[in-house]
Amino acid sequence: MATPTRRLASDGPLRSAPARRTRRFLVGIAAIAALGGALFGYDTGVVSGALPFMERHFGLGSLGEGVITSALLIGAAFGSLAGGRMSDALGRRTSLLWAGAVFIGGALAVALAPTVPFMAVARFVLGLAVGSASVITPLYLSEIAPPHIRGRLVSFNSLMIVSGQLLAYLINAVLAHWAAWRWMLGLAALPAVALFAGLFFLPDTPRWYISKGRRDEAGAVLARTLPAEEVAGELARIDHARGLEAAARRGAWQELRTPWIRRLLLVGVGLAVVQQITGVNAVIYFAPKILAATGLGTNAAITATIAVGVVSVLATAVGMSLIDRVGRRPMLITGLAGMAFSLALLGAAFRLPHSPAVSILVLGLMVLYMAFMQATLNTGVWLLLAEMFPLAVRGLAMGTAVFMMWLINFTVALTFPVLLDAVGAGTTFWLFGVACVLSLLFCKRYAPETKGLALEDLEDELRKGAAGA
């Protein structure tokens, strides 16, 4: 018999002493698991400060810069696919443990790289961990969080990503005075050790336990995240979703051929593409190079990049506070409009003669663009990808979408330095602005709204919506 769609009774404030224990448990989980997000942010952001010194050390040209930057990203693409399958087979927690171990080894190998080929291979290996964590961390948080705070808890991972990037910018600015680019890269091993150690104290998610027939363990975890009177109902909802999936199960890849699931996957892939073609990682990876094009020196450009990191963190915090109130779709649409406007002005600013005032203007417009991006699109897309797929294919489908995200990321990182030299910064940012407008039309037509529903109830809603589309 179908379980009716409903909001959980706990869609209000957490209560009393059990509520405080629940809050502490969830905060602890978020703090440890989201270290994967911090490592994601640090390892992607640190290259912006290290590249100018690596360019001198290894004699890199524009293509070489693109190869060094994008090696991590192609590794992340394959890591996201492996992470999705691994998280379904081994569990979300165990998979994060493996990612933590690779983070440690990869960070040390990158820092000690003696040649460009060795550096590229080491960054590819590090990318495997980055890609795996980019899938598993939001998946883990979305499945363990109560519905009324799921948006904020999963978005905490986005906050940790931009916090990791800000930390990278700060460390870059300090170490740039000594050209200590190897230390910039190698310090990523420290939070990786903290992630690896902390994961030994976390459980896996109730939904994964039930998918493996471990109902008692699922109930024990739910008892730590929900009021006691809601645990049985939540177990029943998860069982109901599992029953619907088991009725037609033909394996995860075959499940993706089901029309409504295939449509959701295409939407998810589209959202992943939208997040990357709109230019965010061109700013994250190459902000000092962009600012240097306005006449700033290397150290000044690296230091100025801190402003991008600070605003990214603040904007993500604002997005976290709004996402469960405003909803996912309105955030995406508003953000893309603001990003398109910012990029149009940014492209125009590069048509002005170089001067200190123009450098400040370009930095301000980059900051405005990143504020719109991080508060809306970045927060919304990662959350939707963690929420919108059914349990039977959640790890695989999210891994597929994130694989495409990393492939586009790789393409942008590889080609941006070359494009910058070929057509100039102004035209390049106008192209990103056009991509924002096209992305806005896509999100307005296809992006689902997932605010406030339990994952199993959401699955029913999306099945009905996709079938009727």
Q: Tell me the whole-structure pTM to 2 decimals.
A: 0.79
DSSP 8-state class, residue 98:
H
Contact present, 29 and 167 (Cβ < 8 Å):
no
Q: Percentage of the chain surpassing pLDDT 90?
A: 41
**Position 462 confidence tier, pLDDT thresholds 50, 70, 90:** low
Neighbouring CB atoms inside 10 A of 239's CB total 15
Mean pLDDT of 96-110: 95
Contact present, 374 and 314 (Cβ < 8 Å):
no
Mean pLDDT of 61-88: 87
15: pLDDT strictly greater than 70: no
Among the ranges 253-257, 306-310, 350-354, 450-454, which has the highest mean pLDDT value? 306-310
pLDDT digits (tens, 9 = 90+) for 240-279: 766 655 554 445 666 677 777 888 889 999 999 999 999 9
Say what the pLDDT of residue 102 is: 96
**Position 396 confidence tier, pLDDT thresholds 50, 70, 90:** confident
Q: What share of the chain is helix, strand, coil (3-state, %, to 5)?
A: 85, 0, 15
Mean pLDDT of 115-144: 91
Mean pLDDT of 18-41: 83
Mean pLDDT of 78-82: 85
212: pLDDT strictly greater than 90: no
Say what the pLDDT of residue 330 is: 93
Q: How far is CA 364 from CA 75, 210, 270, 342, in A?
A: 32, 49, 30, 10
Tokens of 354: 């170089």
Query: Any idea which of 332-336, 406-410, 428-432 has the lowest mean pLDDT?
Result: 406-410
Tokens of 465: 């919506």
- The domains located in the chain, with CATH, are 20-202 (1.20.1250.20), 252-468 (1.20.1250.20)
Say what the pLDDT of residue 249 is: 46
Locate tokens 């893309």: which residue? 336
